[in-house]
Amino acid sequence: MKISVGQGSCGIAAGASKVYSSLEKSIDTNSHILTITGCIGMCWLEPIVDLYEGEELFARLVKVTPEDTEAISKTADSGDVSFVKHLLITEEDEVFLSKQTRIAMRNCGIINPDCIEDYTTRQGYDALRKVLTTMTPEDVIETIKVSGLAGRGGAGFPTWFKWNAARSSQGEDKYLICNADEGDPGAFMDRAVIESDPHNLIEGMLIGAFAIGAKEAIVYVRAEYPLAIKRLEKAIEDATKAGFLGENIMGSNFTCKMRIKAGAGAFVCGEETALIESLEGSRGMPRLKPPFPAQCGYFSAPSNINNVETFANVPWILLNGGEAFAEMGTTDSKGTKVFALTGKIKKGGLVEIPMGMTLREVIYDIGGGIKEDKPFKAVQMGGPSGGCIPESLLDTIIDYKALGATGAIMGSGGMVVMDDSTCMVSMAKFFLDFTAKESCGKCVPCRIGTKRMLEILTRITEGEGKEGDVELLTELCDAIKDGALCGLGQTAPNPVLTTIRYFRDEYDAHIREGKCPAGECAALLTYEIDKDKCRGCTLCAKKCPAGAIEGSLKNPHVIHSDKCIKCNQCYTVCKFGAVKFS
């Protein structure tokens, strides 16, 4: 029996390494195979251990601890799952995977990312072999065109068009670059793909390099992803030894080498021209376009840039045909899309779904709905550059056009779910704070405009908002969108514009009534104790750092508003629901 322990970053953070070490001591390795795998996407169930009989999944065990390894060993020896009955995944949780369609993530959580043989036994590098033996670069580009594959990094630009532009550009040296500088808060799709299936990325990039005529490929990955970098380095080394990288690949005339560049974590380097600046050793700041990278990119040579997920789809498309990919999705958006489902969701993790599924289906059918069954309020799509979509639009289908009509964007795939305890003004402030700090400062609209917007939002959340603030915010949004140099500035106003559009009443409540309807903005809250519910346990008084609570044992307590610093400690520690705020 093969025992596979999920060792993506999420699994390791949940204790998978300790589980693996414990299994090493308890499993009879002469009779069984102990191995690792990447992230299968069910992050809320980690650590996950899969048991295989041959190639068939025998049992999936979830929330495993080192103390469970003896029971796992008994099951492996006997084939009796009763020893691990308490660890078996439930049918309800299995729905999370059964409703997905996996292409970019087809090997994630299944193969050992450090074992090239695991990849090749699942048709790994077969697409590259097909390309090198039976196709021309023009054939490859045509196949990608037929597939309708659009860039999965955010803009959704046709992949074939970028490849064709780079191929048509004059220049002896051309470069293919993978943008793995995933910087959206709550997004971890690219990291999981690299950690779990690095050879798929390599193969997709090699096919792209063949198509545009590049002899060098570069993966620009953020340094905060050490495990992804480590596994990709090993995959590059193994692929080179196996003849899939380097000189005369697979005995053909195609030569391509690959290297990794670790970025310093600047969000703006997700923009392709800023990424190129960083690759060249300069400060990551966007360039004016045109010229576009396809004509004048890395060190002025024709260059093509796509993100991790885009390349991860390429081998499957070349093996199965562009038509097969185009059959999935909608008229405007083909194929599948990977999302990081996070926030106030019961089943947080990675999902890959065909375009055309609704937001409601993803959040409720796959994600299991809202934690504690609280009311859904909004979902943030597209990270700091995206927008907040309200409950009234939950039946919006997921494609580029439909999401764009709501004021949000597809982005790289962040999907942050919020319940009724989330203040939408505070949410807009959170994302503006991020983009203001991440602005490279090159252009005035982004450098100054985002700061001015953040100052206004801060005033509103602190109870100092005034009439005309919303109109001023809208005016600033329009000016920044029209005047910013790159996509960071042009899309930075989206969270503010969508929260004003769909949650204007919350802005008005903050400004006109001095109240935060969600009860999140501390400066606008007033705390009091319900005398009928207070049992006089004194716990709130003991925890109050300001000495604002007065009362004796077994008698109702009182909060002195003039001393209260609104730290929320009393509300948190009260066991009787006596502390309230308004």
Over the stretch 320-367, which tens digit does the pLDDT of each residue have? 999 999 999 999 899 999 999 999 999 999 999 999 999 999 999 999
Arithmetic mean of pLDDT over the chain: 95
User: How far is it, in rounded angstroms, from Cα 403 to Cα 409?
Assistant: 6
Contact (Cβ atoms closer than 8 angstroms) between residue 443 and residue 489: yes
Summarised one tens digit per residue, pLDDT across range 137-151 is 999 999 999 999 999
Model confidence at 314, pLDDT cuts 50, 70, 90, reads very high
Q: In terms of C-beta density within 10 A (0-12 exposed, 13-18 middle, 19 or more buried), how is residue 557 classed? A: buried
Q: What is the pLDDT of residue 385?
A: 83
Contact (Cβ atoms closer than 8 angstroms) between residue 298 and residue 169: no
Pick the CATH number of 526-581 from 3.40.50.10330, 3.40.630.30, 1.10.150.110, 3.30.70.20: 3.30.70.20
Q: What angle do CA 143, 191, 111 make, to 5 degrees?
A: 75
Query: Which residue in the block uniquely carries the two structure tokens 């006109």?
Result: 512
Model confidence at 370, pLDDT cuts 50, 70, 90, reads very high
Model confidence at 568, pLDDT cuts 50, 70, 90, reads confident
Q: What is the pLDDT of residue 582?
A: 79
Summarised one tens digit per residue, pLDDT across range 219-260 is 999 999 999 999 999 999 999 999 999 999 999 999 999 999
Contact (Cβ atoms closer than 8 angstroms) between residue 461 and residue 498: no
Percent of the chain scoring above 90 in pLDDT? 89
DSSP letter for each residue of 149-187 = -B-TTTT--BHHHHHHHHHHS--S--EEEEEE---STT-
Q: What is the pLDDT of residue 412?
A: 81
Q: What is the CA radius of gyration of the chain?
A: 26
Is 80 exceeded by the pLDDT of residue 154?
no
Return residue ranges of the chain for CATH 3.10.20.600. 336-419
Q: What is the pLDDT of residue 30?
A: 87
Q: What is the pLDDT of residue 420?
A: 94
Q: What is the pLDDT of residue 354?
A: 96
DSSP code for 509: I
Contact (Cβ atoms closer than 8 angstroms) between residue 388 and residue 379: yes
Mean pLDDT, range 179-208, rounded to an integer:
93
Put simply, whether the predicted model's pTM sits higher than 0.85 gets the answer yes
DSSP code for 292: P
In 10 A of CB 138, how many CB atoms? 11
Is 80 exceeded by the pLDDT of residue 563?
yes
User: How far is it, in rounded angstroms, from Cα 16 to Cα 13?
Assistant: 7
The crossing angle, in degrees rounded to 10, of helices 198-212 and 137-147 is: 120
| Selection from 391, 219, 413 nearest residue 305 by Cα | 219
Instruction: At 184, give phi and psi (nearest 5°).
Output: -65, 135
Mean pLDDT, range 461-474, rounded to an integer:
96
Q: H or E element: which one contains 208?
A: helix 198-212
CATH level 3 topology of 336-419: Ubiquitin-like (UB roll) (3.10.20)
Q: What is the pLDDT of residue 473?
A: 97
User: How far is it, in rounded angstroms, from Cα 312 to Cα 325?
Assistant: 13
Model confidence at 414, pLDDT cuts 50, 70, 90, reads confident
In 10 A of CB 457, how many CB atoms? 27
The CATH superfamily holding the domain 116-326 is NADH-ubiquinone oxidoreductase 51kDa subunit (3.40.50.11540)
Q: What is the pLDDT of residue 411?
A: 81
Mean pLDDT, range 46-57, rounded to an integer:
95
Summarised one tens digit per residue, pLDDT across range 381-412 is 988 888 999 999 999 999 999 999 999 988 88
In 10 A of CB 30, how many CB atoms? 5
Arch. (CATH architecture) of 2-89: 3-Layer(aba) Sandwich (3.40)
Q: What share of the chain is helix, strand, coil (3-state, %, to 5)?
A: 45, 15, 35
Encoded tokens for 82: 């009763």
Return residue ranges of the chain for CATH 3.40.50.11540. 116-326
Is 80 exceeded by the pLDDT of residue 25?
yes
Model confidence at 312, pLDDT cuts 50, 70, 90, reads very high
User: How far is it, in rounded angstroms, from Cα 489 to Cα 447?
Assistant: 8
Encoded tokens for 126: 């077969």
Model confidence at 447, pLDDT cuts 50, 70, 90, reads very high
| Selection from 166, 104, 524, 545 nearest residue 350 by Cα | 104
Return residue ranges of the chain for CATH 3.40.30.10. 2-89
User: How far is it, in rounded angstroms, from Cα 294 to Cα 75?
Assistant: 56
Q: What is the pLDDT of residue 276?
A: 96
Indicate the CATH number for domain 424-513.
Answer: 1.20.1440.230
Query: Which residue in the block uniquely carries the two structure tokens 């490849």?
Result: 163
Give the dihedral sign, CA 452/454/456/462. negative
Return residue ranges of the chain for CATH 3.30.70.20. 526-581
Strand partners, 342: 416
